[in-house]
Amino acid sequence: MSLLYLVRHGETSHNAQGRGLGRADLPLSPLGLRQAQLLAARFARVPIDAVLSSPLQRAFVIARTIAGHHALAVDVRPELTELDVGETEGLTYAEIRQRFPEFYRAWSGDDPADAAMPGGESLADLATRLAPLAAELLRGPDRVAVIVSHNFTLRVLVCQLLGIPVASFRNFRLDLASVTTVSIQHGRAAIQALNDLCHVEGPLNLVAPTRSVST
């Protein structure tokens, strides 16, 4: 059996301000850096075989910190990069509604999979990008892996692992610095824990919901 720990990165300034964040390579905020330390402490005594990460620094810093406790190198995977949010980068939801009303209507509909971000990707594009990795995780050798990535990327990856429509990403949330645990046995995935925040809520009461278009 494989065990996957899906880790969403910690806070950045855009997250704190409720602004869209996709490919912009922003650093973690001071709070985000503390979240990284708490995540690393959580995994310090957990046997881990591999650490995979998005190349964006807000994820990679956490992956490197976790991997350092286990003398592992980080396996940087470009496919784990966040959804390209195009021209909505840095905008609030109110600004997106005002500037891109047609996109916003499509994005707010029942199935937003094909609603491409203005000048960016759609969720369907992201799913295509992630498909080979999802297949690798489902069919690969048994191992324990930590995967550090982003809001939309991880939610779409969960949908793919479970074999459910991409539009189902709205049925669950993955907060900043959260850990979602997925087991895989005989090519089938099951959620063991979803959006676990005990490692940050307990020590510092850090978690406050943010509403950004991405992460």
- Of 11, 82, 89, 121, which one is the catalytic site residue? 82
- Determine the pLDDT at residue 207: 45
**Would you place residue 124 in the very low, low, confident or very high pLDDT band (cuts 50, 70, 90)?**
very high
Architecture of domain 2-204: 3-Layer(aba) Sandwich (3.40)
Q: Is 150 a catalytic residue?
A: no
pTM of the predicted model as reported, rounded to 2 decimal places: 0.93
Domains of the chain, residue spans: 2-204
d(CA 8, CA 53): 10
Q: Is 9 a catalytic residue?
A: yes
Greater confidence, 213 or 63?
63
